Structure 1
Amino acid sequence: MSDTFKPDADAVEVIEREACFRGFYRLDRLHLRHRLFSGEMGKPITRELFVRHDAVCVLPYDPQRDEVVLIEQFRVGAMGKSANPWLLELVAGLIDTDEQPEDVAHREAMEEAGLVFSALWPITRYFPSPGGSDEQVYLYVGRCSSEGAGGVHGLPEEGEDIRVHVWPLEDALAAVRDGRINNAASIIALQWLALNRAEVRGMWS
């Protein structure tokens, strides 16, 4: 396996950073240079950067029943590019205060699905779209009981209208295969759980 690039302290030079938009989200325009694989500094380039809060996404899992809890809600980003912009997703929320990721996971589980997690299993932390956004996602599996889960949840004052589904894990994996589940966090978490199901059930059952 070849070595990957190891940047030094001077590998990136930010020449100018412009504030293009300020709202709940931000858009900045950066003029910068970065070191090339040859070792030389490249020419100045311009990149727009969508500045977002980091996010927490959790796959609620009942290891006793081998069931997952998924939420369904309207997503404006899927409108026009999907026949159905009501997506099946994980419990999720933004880290927009000084909360820890685990605190966000527990809060959002109650708000969005009426669930209580008895444990969290960290999966990974990743950049969903680093070509134009600085957002990082903290991804977990959350241990819960799926018994009685369901209904419609969310905070009306935030425009949330969230329906809860309980599925056998095998059905959720089939939905990944046939494209019914088509968002990154859900696909990553479900595939991770498929690979690590025996260990998770052994630790949590």
Structure 2
Amino acid sequence: MSDFFKADADAVEVVQREHCFRGFYRLDRLHLRHRQFKGGMGPLISRELFVRHDAVCVLPYDPLRDEVVLIEQFRVGALGKKTSPWLLELVAGLIEEGEQPEQVAHREALEEADLTLDRLWPITEYFPSPGGSDERVHLYLGRCDSSAAGGVHGLAEEGEDIRVHVLSYADALRALKDGLIDNAASLIALQWLALNRDEVRGAWS
């Protein structure tokens, strides 16, 4: 493990940064050089970078009922890529300035699923697409009571139309295996739960 590349302050030289588009998200173009594994700086290269807020994703889990709560909503990125662009996902939201990831997890659980999370279990942090985006995802498991979960939620002013689903742990893994769940955060969280379920239930039950 000790031979992985260790970057110092001089490992990357950004020659120019262009702001190509500014909206809710931002697109920049960077002209840069970076140090190469064989030593020395490489040639000048250009890379487009999708600049966006970091995000929080949380899998609500009821350890007593052994159930997970997932949400279903329209996703424009899936349009034309699969039969239905309505995806089964985790509760999720972007981190606004001044917010902590844990605050976002609690806020989004209420807004998107009308759920109160009484505890959070950090799973991991990761880059979903570092080849072209600077987004970093904070992933959590959230303890909840799934007995009354359901219905349609979301903020009307943000155009949200979100349906809540309660699945048994077994059904959620079956949906994962059958390809019904096909987005990164949900895949990672459910696979993590499969590996750590006994520990979680022991601590949270």
Return the TM-score normalized by structure 2.
0.99
Question: Which residue does 2:126 correspond to in 1?
Answer: 126
**CA offsets 1:137-157 (integer angstroms, 9 cap, x no match):** 000000000001000000011
Alignment of 1:24-43 (within 5 A): 24-43=24-43
Q: Which residue of 2 aligns with 1:15?
A: 15
Matched residue, 1:185: 185
Cα deviation for residue 117 of structure 1 reads 0.4
C-alpha separation in 1, matches of 2:121 and 2:104: 14
Instruction: Specify the alignment match of 1:63 in structure 2.
Output: 63
Q: Secondary structure of 1:186's match?
A: helix
Runs ≥4 residues deviating over 4 A: none
Equivalent position amino acid for 1:67 in 2: E
Once the 2 structures are TM-superposed, how far is the Cα of residue 2 of structure 1 from its aligned partner?
6.4
CA distance in 2 between partners of 1:171 and 1:97 (Å): 37
Please tell me the residue identity of whatever aligns with 1:192: W
Return the letter of the residue paired with 1:96.
Answer: E
Measured against aligned partners, the alpha-carbon deviations of 1:47-90 in whole angstroms (never above 9, x if no partner) come to: 00000100000000000000000000000000000111100000
Q: After TM superposition, list the pairs within 5 Å mapping 1:97-176 onto structure 2.
A: 97-176=97-176
Q: How does 1:186-205 map to 2 (within 5 A)?
A: 186-205=186-205
For 2:90, the equivalent position in structure 1 comes to 90
Q: Distance in 1 between matches of 2:67 and 2:13?
A: 49
Q: What are the superposed Cα offsets for residues 81-122 of structure 1, whole Å, 9 maximum, x if unpaired?
A: 011110000000000221100000000000000000010000
Give the residue type in structure 2 aligned to 1:176.
L
SS, match of residue 132 in structure 2: coil
TM-score for the superposition, normalised by structure 1: 0.99
Paired residue type of 1:201: R
3-state secondary structure, aligned to 1:197:
helix
> Identity of aligned pairs, percent?
78
Aligned length: 205
C-alpha RMSD over aligned residues: 0.8
Output the CA distance in 1 between the equivalents of 2:97 and 2:105. Answer: 13
1:46 counterpart SS class: strand
The residue type equivalent to 1:169 in the other structure is Y
